[in-house]
């Protein structure tokens, strides 16, 4: 099974790019963030015609939004509000696989960016981000087991490791890599001993990015990236990880997102 995550930054504007990415990656399940589309205007027909007949969406006008597109039928689906806001950042589905005793549960997450100032006293957006991650940690710790086959993925808007950013030293006081954000994300990861799937293939000593700012005139030359997009699995799935791909070339596509697709392959029998 091949599962892909991508912050698309407007699914209606970039639906053809989504089709291009899923074709190149041969993804069975596609999780999108920042879809920026009310549910009634989501381009369902575009993806159904491409073979993704099973679609679960949680969207709103102009902001945020997540979607799960699948070639495989859903066993169940749900969505949640977080931190007292209805801002469409969390949706999940369950899919049955013959090789698993329980349905696989997939959580598609879009963690708030947090604004520009890493200080909760003056920046409500940063406080919202930290509270959102805390709530996710409690949600999974209280409601799930480490033996449940689950994937949590999406745009977490935090680059936790030293080599998840182009300069650890220069970004320590920049939102997405501050110590408090990294600590909060570690708390979320510890909630179920989540496995950072992509880092099982790429050592922590190697640079790894999934996002390059639009502000960089030549993103490839400067290569000032960050790894903001993640795929985690519960420990019961660790031995089933088979491969990954980060579609870095998509950053050069015309009118593309500042994020690139990330794909994980698992053997689920």
pLDDT tens digits, residue range 8-29?
Answer: 999 999 999 999 999 999 999 9
Q: Which residues does 40 contact at the CB level (< 8 Å), separation at least 6?
A: none
- Render pLDDT for 125-136 as a digit per residue (tens, 0 to 9): 999 999 999 999
% of the chain surpassing 90 pLDDT:
99
What is the average pLDDT across 167-179? Answer: 98
For residues 202 and 264, what is the distance between their CA atoms, to the nearest angstrom?
13
| Mean pLDDT across the chain | 97
What integer is the mean pLDDT of 233-243? 98
Q: What percent of the chain has pLDDT over 70?
A: 100
pLDDT at 79: 97
C-alpha separations of 84 from 81, 131, 132, 141, 161 in Å: 7, 10, 10, 19, 30
Classify the phi-psi angles of 62: left when phi > 0, otherwise alpha if psi is within -120 to 50, otherwise beta.
left
Instruction: Give the pLDDT of residue 241.
Output: 98
Q: What's residue 152's pLDDT?
A: 98
Q: How many domains are there within the chain?
A: 1
Extract the tokens encoding 206. 């190697």
Residue with tokens 């994937």: 151
Facing residues of 85 across strands?
82
Residue 114: domain span: 2-266
56: CATH: 3.60.10.10
Q: How confident is the model at residue 244 (pLDDT cuts 50, 70, 90)?
A: very high
Mean pLDDT of 194-199: 98
217 pLDDT band (50/70/90 cuts)?
Answer: confident
pLDDT band at 269 (very low <50, low <70, confident <90, very high): confident
Buried b (16+ CB within 10 A) or exposed e, 141-176: eeeeeeebbbbbbbbbbbbbbbbbbbeeeebeeebb
- Residue 61 is predicted with a pLDDT of 95
* Band of residue 216 on the pLDDT scale cut at 50, 70, 90: confident
Q: Tens digits of per-residue pLDDT, 81-136?
A: 999 999 999 999 999 999 999 999 999 999 999 999 999 999 999 999 999 999 99
Q: What pLDDT digit, counting tens, does each position of 197-214 carry?
A: 999 999 999 999 999 999
pLDDT computed for residue 95 by the predictor: 98
């Amino acid at each position: 099974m091949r599962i892909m995550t991508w912050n698309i930054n407007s699914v209606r504007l970039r639906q053809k790019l989504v089709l291009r990415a899923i074709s190149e990656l041969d993804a069975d399940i596609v999780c999108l963030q920042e879809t920026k589309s009310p549910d009634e205007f989501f381009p369902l027909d575009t993806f159904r015609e491409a073979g993704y007949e099973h679609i679960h969406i949680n969207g709103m006008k102009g902001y945020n939004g997540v979607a799960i597109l699948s070639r495989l039928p859903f066993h169940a689906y749900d969505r949640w509000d977080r931190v007292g806001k209805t801002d469409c950042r969390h949706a999940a589905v369950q899919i049955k696989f013959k090789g698993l005793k329980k349905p696989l549960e997939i959580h598609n997450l879009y963690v708030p960016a947090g604004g520009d100032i890493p200080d909760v006293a003056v920046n409500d957006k940063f406080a919202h981000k930290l509270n959102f991650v805390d709530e996710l940690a409690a949600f999974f710790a209280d409601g799930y087991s480490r033996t449940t086959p689950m994937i949590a993925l999406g745009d977490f808007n935090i680059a936790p490791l030293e080599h998840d950013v182009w300069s650890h030293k220069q970004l320590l006081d920049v939102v997405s890599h501050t110590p408090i954000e990294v600590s909060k994300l570690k708390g979320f990861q510890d909630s179920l001993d989540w496995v950072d799937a992509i880092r099982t293939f790429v050592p922590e000593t190697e640079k790894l990015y999934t996002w390059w700012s639009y502000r960089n005139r030549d993103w490839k030359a400067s290569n000032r990236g960050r790894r903001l997009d993640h795929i985690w699995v519960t420990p019961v799935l660790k031995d089933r990880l088979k491969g990954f791909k980060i579609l870095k070339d998509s950053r050069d596509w015309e009118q593309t997102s500042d994020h690139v697709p990330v794909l994980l392959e698992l053997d689920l029998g």
